[in-house]
Amino acid sequence: MKNVSMNGIFSRNVEIFISLAKTKSFQKTASIFGLSTSSISRELVTLENKLKVTLVDRSCRPLILTPEGRKLLSELIPIMNESQLWHEKLRISIQA
């Protein structure tokens, strides 16, 4: 996988979901992660099965998030931002 990890805090399928939401493309997300589009799809299905919801409307191009997908993304973004902030603070304190 290319260097796209959110500091190892989030599972890969969550990171893939966030990338899909940003790029609106299985192909672009596959390129970012260095995976096939079918692998990206499998990761998304795994997350959807865990959550028991459909996150992406696959019938649209570019893809769009379902209402559940939009809600999940809106909840993940602040958590992701806070995680990145704390990771940076920790990195700086270790280097000091």
Q: What is the pLDDT of residues 77-95, one digit of tens each?
A: 898 888 878 878 888 888 8
Chain centroid offset of residue 39 CA: 14
- C-alpha 77/C-alpha 75 separation (Å) is 6
Low-confidence residues in the chain, pLDDT < 70: 1-10, 96
- C-alpha 1/C-alpha 31 separation (Å) is 10
